[in-house]
Amino acid sequence: MREEITSLQNSKVKYAVKLQDRSERNASGLFLIEGYRELKRAADAGVVFKTLFVCPKLFLGTNEQALIDQIRDGGAEVLLCQERVFEKLSYRDRPDGLIAIAVQMQKSLRDLVARIATKKNPFLVIAEAIEKPGNLGTILRSADASGVDGVIVCDRCTDIYNPNVVRASVGTLFTIPVVEATSAETLMWLKERGIKVVATTPSAKEEFTQADLTGAVAVAVGTEQIGLSEAWMRVADIQVKIPMYGVADSLNVATATTLVLYEVVRQRHCGKDLFLWK
């Protein structure tokens, strides 16, 4: 490893901080990945790294060196940082001494085709115009957990390379195919493949445990404020609601998504028994 960066004015450090801004991410096609778990998942998934900043004093585990070697072997420059320099780079409460500049994956719908080609009943998530990075990241984490074949982020509000998406996804952004596309092209793509759109909306007549979700489905969710757009509601093949027993009329978008995703999995794994909620 080369000598330690001790100056907050170091140009590489300053550049990495800039990547916390969306405009710089868009312009450069680069983004930040922080944390052992996230970096390990990214490295294993073949993400390309430019620069890895390390601060051994902050390491929490014992496997850091192997990961550093893996990322260096992939062609990245590895830079040692003083603790106060690393803290300037970090956007976490508890930095663990690893943060990297990586190349955006930029997958398109075409990349999903091969993935679902072998699936009898593809299982997808559509996240339309989600605003909060934490919600988008949590949706990705739940999508990974429920074994979806891919997530299509439509008409993005927050970009999937936002540091808080990476963090809330705990690196599942790298382990599931995540594609960005417009709603228009996605709608056409789904129709061509006979994948049913399942919209979650309080105005639905059926409850989420009542609709047959065992076929090829794309579970679609919309913005925190107003839900799915008209375009998606119009084409939805299935509309489901989540029963609400309190004063509020909706759930957090990531928790609502997770309930529907796990209902799809339950029907696929436990049989098709459907439920009416009394």
Residues 118-157 that bind a copy of itself (CB under 8 A): 134, 138, 141-147
Amino acid residing at 227: G
For a copy of itself, the closer CB: 75 or 246: 246
For a copy of itself, the closer CB: 81 or 240: 240
* Residue in 10, 160, 166 with CA at minimum distance from that of residue 91: 166
Residue 278 found at the interface with a copy of itself (CB under 8 A): yes
CA 225 to chain centre: 20
Residue 245 found at the interface with a copy of itself (CB under 8 A): yes
The residue assigned the tokens 């956007």 is: 91
Amino acid residing at 211: A
- Residue of 41, 85, 189, 236 interacting with a copy of itself (CB under 8 A): 41
Residue 244 found at the interface with a copy of itself (CB under 8 A): yes
Number of C-beta neighbours around residue 20 at 10 A: 15
Q: Report, in angstroms and rounded to the nearest whole number, the Rg of the chain calculated over CA atoms.
A: 21
- Residue of 171, 215, 222, 227 interacting with a copy of itself (CB under 8 A): 171
Amino acid residing at 185: E
CA distance 137 to 158: 10
What binding mask, one character per residue, do residues 185-214 give for a copy of itself by CB under 8 A, x or -? Answer: ------------------------x-----
DSSP E strand stretches across 176-272: 178-181, 196-200, 206-207, 217-221, 238-241
For a copy of itself, the closer CB: 27 or 244: 244
Give residues in contact with a copy of itself (CB under 8 A). Answer: 41, 134, 138, 141-147, 168, 170-172, 175-176, 209, 242-248, 251-252, 254-255, 258-259, 262, 265-266, 269-271, 273, 275-278
